[in-house]
Amino acid sequence: MKQQNELQGGCLCGAIRYRLEGEPFDADHCYCSQCRKSTGAVVGSWMDFRLEQLTWQGEAVREYASSAKICRGFCPNCGTSLSYRSLDHPEFISLSIASLDDPDRVAPRYHIYCADKPAWLQITDDCPRYPGNRSQGG
């Protein structure tokens, strides 16, 4: 039975499922070129958790090292982009908000790499915006 503070999601074909205990500690929209290419969309929307909050179910996520310290997880069957991990922070994992069964449960709180977003894409919410990552200021 699904708990109130539990989130569930998975890939398009259903081979990979996950369960998350509790809420994410953060969530964002990212417009960097790697997120755009890895998700096949103009923006990647991510939610951040401590690794112990996550339980993978079904088949294993396959990871691709998109840079020296970043691993992006996807379903090897259908290609769904599922996760993002920094080797500098092995205790954390980011999961795609779009992969949630109910994506309305998590709303991004800010936008990063706005300098890289397509010019024709307009941001209309009131969330903070950063030209690069959040530590670079807005």
Tell whether 24 is covered by a domain: yes
Tell me how far the alpha carbon of residue 31 is from its chain's centroid.
12
Tell whether 11 is covered by a domain: yes
CA dist 123 and 116 (Å) reads: 13
Tell whether 95 is covered by a domain: yes
List the CATH number of the domain containing 21.
Answer: 2.170.150.70
Q: Mean pLDDT across the chain, nearest whole number? A: 95
> Bigger pLDDT: 3 or 17?
17
Using H for helix, E for strand and C for coil, what is the string for the chain?
Answer: CCCCCEEEEECCCCCEEEEEECCCCEEEEECCHHHHHHHCCCCEEEEEEEHHHEEEEECCCEEEEEECCEEEEECCCCCCEEEEEECCCCCEEEEEHHHECCHHHCCCCEEECHHHCCCCCCCCCCCCECCCCHHHCC
Q: What is the model's pTM? A: 0.92
Number of structural domains found in the chain:
1
pLDDT of residue 97: 98
Tell whether 125 is covered by a domain: yes
Phi, psi (deg, nearest 5) at residue 74: -150, 165
The yes-or-no verdict on residue 138 having pLDDT over 80 is no
**pLDDT tens-digit series, residues 4-49:** 789 999 999 999 999 999 999 999 999 999 999 999 999 999 999 9
Domain hosting 10: range is 6-136
CA dist 8 and 80 (Å) reads: 15
pLDDT of residue 137: 56
Tell whether 1 is covered by a domain: no
